[in-house]
Structures are given as structure tokens and as C-alpha cells.
Amino acid sequence: MLTRRDALKGLTAVGAGMTAGISIWSQTRGDNGIPVASVLDATGPINIYGRPMIDAAAFAVDNINSSGGVLGKKLQLIQLDTQSDNDVYAQYALQVILRNRVAVLTGGITSASREATRPVVDKYKEVFFYPEQYEGGVCDKYVFCTGATPAQQLSLLVPWSIGTYGKTFYTLAADYNYGHSSAAWVRKYLTQAGGGLVGEEFIPLDVVDFDSVIQRVEQKGPAVVMSLLVGGNHIAFYRQFAAAGLKGKIAVVSATFGLGNEHVVLAPEEAEGITVIYPYFQEIDTPVNKAWVAAWHKRFGADYTYITDSADSIWNCWHLWATGVNKAGSLETRKVIAALESGITFEAPEGMISLDPQTHHVVHNMHLAKVNEKHGFDIIKSWSKVPPSETMAVCNLLKNPDSHMQFTPS
């Protein structure tokens, strides 16, 4: 078995490649401060999601510290740029667990980055919070997922789209595990709702030319394009789709659009009317969210582009973890997990949320919204307390605590 000392021998090169200006704490858990880590993409093609998430992590940790910290101690945040490279995710996870002795690891954006990190946290029995919407099915004693799952997004978006636009769908998905699994859920929910799939394509993350894809969509003539596209390069699809004259003729709905501020980058004539579904939108009209948005703008500036659902998910993961640790009265992994499984709730910007003990996923409030002409969203429908039912159907960590796997759609 690899010891901590042996594993650390291979970390010199990792440290040499770290982004300049990132501070690494050497404290152990017994010192005055508690080292904690966030691994997210500040650079690379996935950084369109990472930048607001990085801001949210710093904001959340500062908020927790200003409220007394955890167990009466301040959190000391280690933030590392994983550079949109899954190998770097695994390397940095190993580093912060073994060298920095962090009390919790948060981060990961793509499902591929999560799956690169998960074996490391499982091996060393570290609590890991994954803060992004994803394809569902992760059932792992050490992993907590604060993003939405297909049962919370697609099971609501698909039947609404059928009722609003029509029964025929063409799915465009990113060509990795998130896209493939999510496309399978689209097929399942389409069948349940009486719809049909006329086309399905999986697009590599580096693709920027969608001309041939758009031609095939136009030939099939679906009522709806379901976009599960991901990353900065895929923004080109929406621009080219509008340029081809298809916007307004074929509806576009998505479980990913807007997380990278695509609605801000694109012109209104390219994005207005695209429908998405998330737990959080900046426009949520509640006192808690208004106060959070005001505090965010005070911290980061009134001209901050847009506060994304991913930022809300980061905020929630840090506060759920802090609540669990304070309830446990300990940083010991076993005790923290037991506390997190006891029925933790939190008043989030999206509304009151709870952590499902059985799956380690969040029960969310879900909001359906359309892009408006002001680079924002108009919320048109909401659901409260939506469970991650697809994962609950296959995962019970209370009965099977030794599970460390991901179920896929059957």
C-alpha cells in the first residue's frame, strides 16, 4: 500500500507547475487554522465555468470565517488552477490530501474531472464535495454532490418542451461521460412523455465549426434541439445556429447553457428565447437572494458579469460542509459524514435546500427560465423540493456505506 511519505515523493513536479500567486498552507489539522482546498479551472477551455466558481469559493470561505469559522477556527483556503486538465485534477487532489492535510476537498467541473479525482479521495478517505450539475448516479461514501441531476433538470425540461414546442427532439451533447449519460436520460424522459428522438450527436469539446451539424439538424426538422454542449468552444453552435436562420424556427432548450455566461457573450438575437433549467438564477426574487447578490456585487463589483448556478452550488457546498463539521464537533471523516447524513438543511440563494442522507445529493428548488434581451433570464416556472430521484432509485449509502461507484442509465 502506498504510504503518505511514498506518495509525496512524486509531487515535486506538481508543485513546480502551479499557477503563480496561489498560496499553499503547510498547517496540519491540529494548528490554529484549518486548511481546506478548492480545485477548479481558472484557465483552459472549461474556465468559462471555473471563474465564477473560484470567486464563490473565496466568498464562501470568507463568509464562514466572518461568522466564527469552523469549530472556532478559521478556514485557510488553498485554491489551485487545474487548467482544464483531468490529470492535473488527480495530481492536485493527491497533493492537498497528503502534503497539506486538508479537511475537505471541493471542486471539479466536468464529470471527467470528478471521476479523475474520486479514486484519490476514496483511497485516502477524504470528504469531497463536487459542486456542478451532472448526469447523476454517483454513489460514494466520501462524495457529496451539490449540483442538479437529470431527475431535477431533464425530467422537468423534456415534458415542458414537448408541451410547449412539440414532440420531436434532436440532441447535441458534449462527447464525454456527461454528454453520453445525459443524452440517455433525454431518451428515457422523451419516451415517458410521448416524444421522439430524430437525431443525436456527440461533439468533441474542441469543435468550433458546427456547419455540418446544423445542416443535419435542419434536414431532420425537429421541434426542439436539446443542447447538452459544454465549454467555451461550443458557444459557437448558438451563433452559427442563429446565422443559419434556424433561431425562431426550431426551439433550443438546454441543461448546460448559461453556466458559462453564454447568454452574456452572445448577442440577444443569437440567444434570446433559449430555455434552461437550474436551481439558481440571479433574478430569483427572494430576500435571501437579493441580499446575497448585493453582497456579491459589493465584494466583486457592481459590473460583475452574472452570478451563475455553479457559483450558488459552490456557496452551498462550503456551507453544508461547515454545518456538518460544527454539528459533528470534529474534523474526523467518519464523524463529519455521519453529521452530513443526519439531515442537514441550509437557506441558500436558490431557497431552502436539504442534503439527502441516502445519496449525498441535494434536494433542490428548480427554476425554468428563458434568456431575455438584456443578457439575463426571465423565470417562467418553478418547482420546490425536487429530489434526485434517479440516483435515489439505485443508491442508498445508509444501507450500503461501502459503495464507491457510479450507476449509469439502464
The stretch 181-205 carries a mean pLDDT of 97
Residue 242: phi and psi, rounded to 5, are -70, -40
Instruction: Please tell me whether residues 297 and 399 are part of one structural domain.
Output: yes
pLDDT confidence of residue 31? 54
Residue 118 has pLDDT above 80, yes or no: yes
Q: Give me the CATH number covering residue 13.
A: 3.40.50.2300
* Residue at 370 is within a domain: no
Average pLDDT along the chain: 92
Instruction: Please tell me whether residues 139 and 215 are part of one structural domain.
Output: no
Instruction: Please tell me whether residues 211 and 344 are part of one structural domain.
Output: no
Domain boundary among 254, 276, 309: 254
d(CA 408, CA 340): 25
What contacts 212, CB < 8 A, 6 or more positions away?
none
Q: Which residues pair with 369 in a beta bridge?
A: 276, 379
C-alpha cell at 26: 503547510
Instruction: Please tell me whether residues 135 and 246 are part of one structural domain.
Output: no
Quote the domain boundaries for residue 336: 4-148+285-364+386-406
User: What would the pLDDT profile of 233-255 be if each residue is shown by its tens digit?
Assistant: 999 999 999 999 999 999 999 99
Instruction: Please tell me whether residues 141 and 20 are part of one structural domain.
Output: yes
Instruction: Please tell me whether residues 87 and 10 are part of one structural domain.
Output: yes
* Residue at 376 is within a domain: no
Pairing assessment for the beta strands 196-203 and 377-386 based on DSSP bridges: unpaired
User: What would the pLDDT profile of 30-39 be if each residue is shown by its tens digit?
Assistant: 457 999 999 9
The stretch 223-230 carries a mean pLDDT of 98
Q: Which residue, chain included where needed, has cell 500567486?
A: 21
Which value, to the nearest 10 degrees, does the dihedral of the CA atoms of residues 366, 367, 371, 374 take?
-120
Pairing assessment for the beta strands 275-278 and 251-254 based on DSSP bridges: parallel
* Residue at 63 is within a domain: yes
Instruction: Please tell me whether residues 216 and 333 are part of one structural domain.
Output: no
**CB 368, CB 375: distance < 8 Å:** no
Tally of domains in the chain = 2
Instruction: Please tell me whether residues 12 and 139 are part of one structural domain.
Output: yes
* Residue at 260 is within a domain: no
Domain boundary among 212, 239, 254: 254
Domain boundary among 237, 254, 271: 254
- Nearest residue to 152 (alpha-carbon basis) of 277, 274, 315, 259: 277
User: What would the pLDDT profile of 345-392 be if each residue is shown by its tens digit?
Assistant: 999 999 999 999 999 999 999 999 999 999 999 999 999 999 999 999
pLDDT confidence of residue 123? 97
